Structure 1
Amino acid sequence: MKRNAVLLVAAALAAVTAAGSPIPGTAKDLGVRGATWPVAETDLLEAIEARLLGMQRSGEMSRLEREARGRARRRLEEPDPVPGIVAATEERSRLLDPSVTVARDIRTPDGTLLAVAGTRVNPLERMTLSRDLVFVDGRRGAEIAWALAR
């Protein structure tokens, strides 16, 4: 629930920031058209800042950051298995063509054209792999031992 609250606060802050951006040339004074009253509601940005400061003072912000780092680390160290990929029952090799068709022109920062849109590029024609690629399931000790023995 608290994670949702943090996301809600971030979304509200983004919405308020975007809504506060004037569109050039559209603002004009239309004058007074009746009675006006002072705004009674709490300023949303002030409310968000107060909430974030409270979370920071209470240590909740640090806790949420630690939890997020832990989740990110676990996802990196133990990624979800790829659906449809199962352990091999026999050793075999496959040829792979890593070619891609360039969707738009690719240029270096100085403007040099590297590839024209529509060109089919195989990166292995420019440089080769220095080693074989071996894919293993890091959760299976037998696969790790096999890969390390190669």
Structure 2
Amino acid sequence: MRSDQSEDFYKIALSTPNLRALGFTGAPFQQLIWNNVSKLERVCIDAEIWSTSLESPLILLSWLLELANIKALTVSASTLQVLFLIPGLLKIKLPCLGHLESLRVELKPLSPIFSMRLKAAKSWKAALKPSPPPIPDGIVDFLIQNSPSAKVDMINFSR
């Protein structure tokens, strides 16, 4: 890849008219360009954070903003923590997720490394506090604001 194209390195164009389900695990550094994904119904996201920048949380939010027609969303507790790093997130009015029938939150314990990165991203003062709660207050209501009748399931995973 030539250096003058480096800004395109993390862009992924999706043009998959028959795609019904999509799963992602890792740090969201990939800008997704959504083309012709109208049949996408189920999305599963298990996001982490690798740096203290807001890039990953904002990219993750941009993905959610494109999910107009999905019916089922599965997210991990770490995904909710990454989203919650966006200042004023809960004040945002989502123009998406209006067809959501099911929200599944996987309550996997946060890894020690993820917890350290999360604290560093929030502030150095946070490093002195205990690990963050698995689910930030208000984040589930934020995700279902356009689908208040969506069924919400909390799934516990233990190590």
Return the TM-score normalized by structure 2: 0.26
Q: Which has the higher contact order (CA 8 A, sep 6+)?
A: 2
Whose radius of gyration is greater, 1 or 2?
1
Which structure shows the bigger proportion of residues in helix conformation? Answer: 1
Return the TM-score normalized by structure 1: 0.27
Which structure shows the bigger proportion of residues in strand conformation? Answer: 2
